[in-house]
């Protein structure tokens, strides 16, 4: 067991820290989250690597409260714990788009705080809850079932609910969200597995949106896997929607990379990078 377990066991994903790797650690990350001390901040705790429907449900609870809604996750876990780095499920530069879409639905866009994991790794559950309450000014916390936290994963939802209330925080423990068609609980691990299998129906059921692959600058209609800024689907032929106004088309993923096969290729400007939304697998 790792030092911290910041989600239901099924959602643990050693690669998720890379999703935030490009974000610098804020020097003032211990500052109060809400400019209004009377209102406080309302936070969802988790890893938030996939920004899936379960994460959206946590964010919705925080956004429905009177203060500022925040998603709190941790940076640098892979490096500290020696986990193998993988591509994130959501490209770092694409996270704001998803949060903005949630904001249109909730009426307020959640903000993100990424706490440097190395600075809290040794905190026991009591110290971490005091950090939330006293330093960050948290008024309420929402987590999913099975959530554990603190050094050696010593804190559970029962401790969170009891001690959080004693510290003046409202605590909500939410049931895990299942897939849109009643499948197993939504988790980042499930998204990653289904994506690797090319099962876009299951991926969309978990995410609530098509999976978007973001490409680095320099990418063209044929680009190597080194240009991928987040995890692609598994090898196969797919119906896609292309960015840059190129519209609907087809794309093939292989061990070598991405090839756009049928689309308005003239609208895909060479060397500009871009994104590809994967809609359906055509050869599976």
Who contacts 248 (Cβ-Cβ below 8 Å, separation ≥6)?
A: 239, 240, 241, 242, 263
User: Do 273 and 150 reside in the same domain of the chain?
Assistant: no
User: Do 92 and 230 reside in the same domain of the chain?
Assistant: no
Q: Which of 154, 199, 21, 29 is nearest to 95 (CA)?
A: 21
User: Is residue 164 assigned to a domain?
Assistant: yes
Which CATH number is 142's domain given? Answer: 3.40.50.620
User: Is residue 204 assigned to a domain?
Assistant: no
pLDDT digits (tens, 9 = 90+) for 25-78: 455 888 888 877 777 899 999 999 999 999 999 999 999 998 779 999 999 888
User: Is residue 201 assigned to a domain?
Assistant: no
| 241, 247 contact by CB (below 8 A) | yes
Q: What are 198's two structure tokens?
A: 């090319």
Give the per-residue pLDDT at 268. Answer: 60
- Residue listed under structure tokens 């948290």: 138
User: Do 154 and 53 reside in the same domain of the chain?
Assistant: yes
User: Do 55 and 121 reside in the same domain of the chain?
Assistant: yes
Q: What are 60's two structure tokens?
A: 């919705």
Cα distances (Å, whole numbers) of residue 202 to 98, 179, 275: 19, 8, 21
* Domain end (from 118, 151, 174): 174
pLDDT (tens digit, 0 to 9) for every residue of the chain, 284 residues total?
A: 445 555 433 333 333 333 333 344 455 888 888 877 777 899 999 999 999 999 999 999 999 998 779 999 999 888 888 888 899 999 999 999 999 999 999 999 999 999 999 999 999 999 999 999 999 999 999 999 999 999 988 999 999 999 999 999 999 999 999 876 666 899 999 999 999 999 999 999 999 999 999 999 877 788 999 999 999 999 999 999 987 666 888 999 999 999 988 666 666 665 566 899 999 999 97
User: Do 125 and 218 reside in the same domain of the chain?
Assistant: no
User: Do 112 and 247 reside in the same domain of the chain?
Assistant: no
Number of domains in the chain: 2
pTM to 2 decimals?
Answer: 0.86
Give the per-residue pLDDT at 7. Answer: 40
User: Is residue 193 assigned to a domain?
Assistant: no
* Domain end (from 150, 174, 198): 174
Instruction: Write out the residue range of the structural domain in which residue 155 sits.
Output: 9-174
User: Do 158 and 217 reside in the same domain of the chain?
Assistant: no
User: Do 68 and 135 reside in the same domain of the chain?
Assistant: yes
Extended strands (E) in 32-137: 41-45, 68-75, 111-116
Burial of 17 (C-beta count, 10 Å sphere; 0-12/13-18/19+): buried
* Domain end (from 149, 174, 199): 174
User: Do 50 and 168 reside in the same domain of the chain?
Assistant: yes
Extended strands (E) in the chain: 41-45, 68-75, 111-116, 138-144, 170-174, 211-215, 222-224, 236-242, 247-253, 257-262, 274-281
User: Is residue 220 assigned to a domain?
Assistant: yes
User: Is residue 31 assigned to a domain?
Assistant: yes
User: Is residue 152 assigned to a domain?
Assistant: yes
pLDDT digits (tens, 9 = 90+) for 231-256: 999 999 999 998 766 688 899 999 99
Q: Please, what's the largest Cα pairwise distance for the chain?
A: 62
User: Do 169 and 219 reside in the same domain of the chain?
Assistant: no
User: Do 88 and 161 reside in the same domain of the chain?
Assistant: yes
User: Do 170 and 214 reside in the same domain of the chain?
Assistant: no
User: Is residue 195 assigned to a domain?
Assistant: no
Give the per-residue pLDDT at 39. Answer: 77
């Amino acid at each position: 067991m790792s030092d911290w377990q910041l989600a239901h066991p099924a959602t643990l994903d050693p690669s998720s820290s890379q999703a935030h790797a490009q974000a610098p650690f804020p020097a003032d990350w211990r500052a109060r989250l809400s400019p209004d001390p009377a209102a406080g901040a309302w936070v969802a705790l988790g890893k938030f690597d996939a920004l899936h429907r379960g994460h959206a449900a946590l964010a919705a609870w925080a956004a429905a409260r009177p203060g500022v809604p925040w998603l709190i996750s941790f940076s640098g876990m892979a490096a500290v714990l020696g986990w193998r780095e993988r591509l994130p499920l959501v490209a770092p530069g694409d996270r704001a788009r998803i949060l903005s879409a949630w904001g249109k639905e909730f009426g307020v866009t959640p903000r993100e705080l990424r706490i440097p994991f190395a600075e809290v790794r040794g905190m026991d559950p009591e110290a971490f809850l005091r950090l939330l309450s006293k330093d960050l000014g948290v008024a309420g916390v929402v987590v999913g079932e099975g959530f554990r936290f603190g050094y050696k994963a010593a804190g559970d939802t029962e401790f969170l609910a009891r001690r959080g209330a004693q510290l003046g925080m409202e605590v909500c423990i939410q049931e895990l969200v299942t897939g849109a068609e009643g499948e197993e609980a939504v988790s980042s691990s499930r998204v990653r597995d289904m994506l690797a299998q090319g099962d876009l129906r299951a991926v969309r059921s978990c995410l609530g949106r098509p999976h978007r692959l973001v490409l680095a600058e320099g990418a063209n209609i044929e680009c190597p896997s080194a240009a991928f800024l987040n995890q692609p689907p598994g090898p196969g032929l797919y119906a896609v929607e292309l960015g840059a106004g190129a519209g609907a088309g087809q794309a093939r993923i292989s061990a070598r990379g991405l090839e756009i096969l049928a689309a308005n290729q003239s609208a895909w400007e060479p060397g500009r990078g871009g994104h590809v939304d994967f809609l359906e697998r055509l050869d599976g």
